[in-house]
Homo-oligomer: A and B are copies of this chain.
Amino acid sequence: MGLMEFFREFFLGFWDYETPKIMVVKNRTLGVIYRMVQFLVITYFIWYVFISQKAYQDIETRPESSVYTEMRGVGILGDSIRDTTEYVRPSEGGDVISTILRREVTHNQTQGTCAEHYNVPNANCTTDADCVMGEMDFDGHGQRTGRCVPYYNYTFKTCEIRSWCPIEEFAAVREPALVQAVNFSVFIKNAIHFPKFKVLRGNIKPRKPKKLLKCNYHPDTNPYCPVFKLGYIAEQAREKFSELCRTGGVIGVFINWKCDFDVDPSECIPTYSFRRLDLRKNLPSSGYHYWFAKYYIKDGLEYRTLIKAYGIRLDVIVHGQAGKFSLIPTIINTVTAMTSVGICSIICDWIMLTFIDKNEVYSERKFDDASKDPRPPTVTEITLTSFGSTHSDLSDGIPL
């Protein structure tokens, strides 16, 4: 065959359409099983993949989010007034904000020498010989001077240390909890941007009147007012506020955006949920507290007020997801659905060939053994034979 002919044949063959040959089995049982499996697969795809999982949408799962928080409320504790400047830290209003609910204040600490706390290992002493000069215990508060001194105004003695004096454990004043904080409110402004769809949404209604910060969030009546009382947050997180005042705690504020931009984007409203994030199973370190100090210079000497603060830390965590119809995922998932329907054939073939096909009729018909003569004994040999042998045992030649 010449090269031209080869190409000609190839070109002609290229435009042929090839389709698999199909055997139709008119077996009601098998047909019902086949259609049922097919129905299940199609239902799964239509209901779960397309309707429930919205597989026809292009999904954006990592939006850009910006959080701004602001606390409001004034508390009074004895003669002392607490406003946000004092109980909110850090002040910059980021996505982590903590409110001080209870303080243990050590006033007028200065660097000097004083008695070590009696709980520190080897701190109790009777003579200077019990105290090693220059030693520093990891659990202690400073470096030992080598002297044994009376423990403040008590009768027993402990080793003297160079430290910020007096030590916190001795001198700290435990303030009562700021129970009014249950009514403090936190305003959480959140803007979210979906770069794939170029949509920017906020959790505040645009053009809201000036009164905004006076509202309180309610999922049904006030979904556009992201102002939450601390008491509401604790309640939603199923925590007792009084317990939080005692030990402190970290509460996650989850802002969930689940937007479908195929419908009106104004329906894209976040939901809020609250969950305590730190563990609290009677752990030694349960709760949330931290230390900070205010520094002063008095008569040329540096003093500090050391504050151990117990409080609520709010971690604002934004989850965002948005979807919009897109051709490519739709096609991909439709193709997958169609391909998966093919799985029915595998199941039904197995049923057919194993349970129904007792006489191997279907098997014979489905599988064409290439090593056997593909067709029934053809007329030539048979008729020729029959002519010779006067119509005898022709049935032998009849195929199954």
Chain A, residues 213-225, CB within 8 Å of chain B (1/0): the string is: 1100000000000
Contact B368 A189 (CB under 8 A): no
Contact B76 A142 (CB under 8 A): yes
Chain A, residues 16-59, CB within 8 Å of chain B (1/0): the string is: 11111111111110111111000000000000100000000000
Measured CA separation A152–B296 after assembly (Å): 28
Residue A326 CB within 8 A of the other chain: no
Contact A85 B391 (CB under 8 A): no
Residue A365 CB within 8 A of the other chain: yes
**In chain A, residues 202-246, which have Cβ atoms closer than 8 Å to a Cβ of chain B?**
202, 204, 206-214
From the candidates B68, B292, B377, name the one contacting A379 in the complex (CB within 8 A).
B377
Residues of B within 8 A of A209 (CB): 284
Measured CA separation A152–B348 after assembly (Å): 92
Q: A21-B21, A74-B140, A96-B92 are in contact. Are A315 and B374 (CB under 8 A)?
A: no
Chain A, residues 96-112, CB within 8 Å of chain B (1/0): the string is: 10100000000000010
Residue of A24, A180, A191 with most partner-chain B CB within 10 A? A24
Residue A266 CB within 8 A of the other chain: no
Contact B345 A335 (CB under 8 A): no
Residue A278 CB within 8 A of the other chain: yes
Chain A, residues 157-171, CB within 8 Å of chain B (1/0): the string is: 000001110000000
The copy count of this chain in the complex is 3
Contact B397 A398 (CB under 8 A): yes
Q: A74-B136, A304-B85 are in contact. Are A64 and B399 (CB under 8 A)?
A: no
- Interface size of A as a range: 35 or more
Residue of A14, A17, A90, A379 with most partner-chain B CB within 10 A? A17
Contact B14 A18 (CB under 8 A): no
Contact B387 A17 (CB under 8 A): no
Residue of A254, A284, A319 with most partner-chain B CB within 10 A? A284
From the candidates B16, B92, B189, B382, name the one contacting A25 in the complex (CB within 8 A).
B16
Contact B17 A20 (CB under 8 A): no
From the candidates B25, B279, B282, B335, name the one contacting A202 in the complex (CB within 8 A).
B279
Residues of B within 8 A of A156 (CB): none
